[in-house]
Amino acid sequence: MIARAADLGLARLALTDHDTAEGSLLLKRVAPELAIVGEEVRTSEGDIIGLFINETISAGGTPEAVCDLIHETGGLTYACHPFDRRRRGFAPERLVALASRLDVIETHNSWADDAANRAAADICRELGKVAAAGSDAHAAWELGRCWMEMEAYDGVDDFLDKLAGARHVVNTPSGVGRRA
């Protein structure tokens, strides 16, 4: 992943393995200038990513409890692939109910179809949340299917501010490379 990020010219990489931050913490030790420590946490309803965390967040809790744990560690909450029908997502009304606990909503996920991404973008705008795009890479070759171009930041709060004005770069249409 480090070599692939370098090949793509990516300055930062949010490594968010499912239900563990250990790989991301290792990346932080090996390449601290590259790593944004994160984890994709399975909740009782859908998946929430924690960014800028410093430990593994326990999976399986309610979305509210997981968001609160992420915030308690000083991290940001990121609703990933919220409306992808093939994966754990949220009903629109649940995303609205979680809005006060969410910092970022993913509006382009490379595995999700166009309809799911459009629905996520619509609700993100309606809720006034910060939008982000994610490769959702499960292998190095998938990294860089999309990314965010943003100004340099200093700390978590500045990251969120700069992300709000970031440019979404999509290299691969939605759903390309989808697993059978």
Sorted by where each begins, the domain ranges of the chain are 2-169
| Burial letters 138-156, b for 16+ CB under 10 A, else e | eeeebbbbbbbebeeeeee
The predicted pLDDT at position 85 comes to: 83
Token couple for 141 = 């070759």
Band of pLDDT at residue 173, cut at 50, 70 and 90 = low
CB atoms within 10 A of CB 108: 25
CB atoms within 10 A of CB 35: 21
The tens digit of pLDDT for each residue in 82-105 reads 999 888 789 999 999 999 999 999
Between CA 144 and CA 66, with CA 70 as vertex, the angle to 5 degrees is: 100
Residue with tokens 């990516």: 10
pTM of the model: 0.93
What is the identity of the amino acid at 148? M
Band of pLDDT at residue 172, cut at 50, 70 and 90 = low
Domain 2-169 top-level CATH class: alpha beta
The predicted pLDDT at position 179 comes to: 42
- What number is the average pLDDT over the span 155-160? 97
Q: Kindly give, in sequence order, each residue whose CB lies less than 8 Å from that of residue 68, ignoring residues fewer than 6 positions away.
A: 101
The tens digit of pLDDT for each residue in 17-46 reads 999 999 999 999 999 999 999 999 999 999
